[in-house]
Structure 1
Amino acid sequence: MQPEKVQVESFVVAGIQTRTTNAQEMNPLTAKIPALWGRFMSEGHYNRIPQVVADSPVYGVYADFESDANGAYSLIAGRAVSAASSETASATIAAGTYLKFAAPGPCPQVVISTWMAIWQYFQANPQIQRAYVSDFERYESPEGIEIYIGVQG
Structure 2
Amino acid sequence: MKYEVINLDEQMVVGLSARTKNSAPDMVTVIGSLWNHFYQDGIYDSIHDKINNKGLGVYSDYESDANGEYDITVACAVSKSDKLPPNTVKKTIPAGKYAKFILQGNLHQIIAAFWQELWIMNLDRTYICDFEEYQEVSDVENATIHVYIGIR
Distance 1:29 1:135, change over 3 A: closer
Give the percent of matched residue pairs that are identical in Structure 1 and Structure 2: 35
Look up the match of 1:108.
108
CA contact (8 A) 2:58 2:131 kept: yes
The residue number in structure 2 matching 1:81 is: 78
Give the Å deviation of 1:29.
7.9
- Report the 3-state secondary structure (helix = DSSP H, G, I; strand = E; otherwise coil) of the residue aligned with 1:2: coil
Q: Which runs of 5+ in 1 are unaligned?
A: none
Looking at structure 1, the residues matched to 41 and 26 of structure 2 have their Cα atoms a distance apart, in angstroms, of 22
- Counterpart code for 1:39: H
C-alpha contact (below 8 Å) 1:13/1:79 kept by paired residues: yes
Report matched runs for 1:128-143 at 5 Å: 128-142=123-137, 143=143
| Count of matched residue positions in the alignment of Structure 1 and Structure 2 | 144
* Residue of structure 1 equivalent to 2:20: 20
Gaps of 5+ in 2: 138-142
CA–CA separation in structure 2 for the residues paired with 1:29 and 1:131: 22
Q: Is the 8 A contact 1:17 1:89 kept in 2?
A: yes
CA distance in structure 2 between the partners assigned to 1:144 and 1:34 by the alignment: 18
Q: Shift of the alpha carbon at 1:86?
A: 4.3
CA distance 1:78–1:30, shift in 2 (3 Å): closer
Q: CA RMSD in A?
A: 1.7
Question: TM-score when scaled to structure 1?
Answer: 0.86
Task: Quote the offset at 1:120 in angstroms.
Answer: 2.7
The aligned runs of 1:13-52 (5 Å cut-off) are: 13-24=13-24, 27-28=25-26, 31-52=29-50
Q: Distance in 1 between matches of 2:57 and 2:115?
A: 13
**How many angstroms apart in 2 are the aligned matches of 1:21 and 1:93?**
19
| Offset, 1:74 | 0.6
In the TM superposition, what is the alpha-carbon distance from 1:30 to its structure 2 partner?
7.4
Task: Deviation per CA, 1:27-48: give whole Å up to 9, x if none.
Answer: 2587411111121121122211
Is the contact made by 1:110 and 1:144 (CA closer than 8 Å) also made in structure 2? no
Taking structure 2 as the reference length, what is the TM-score of the superposition?
0.86
Q: Distance in 2 between matches of 1:90 and 1:56?
A: 17
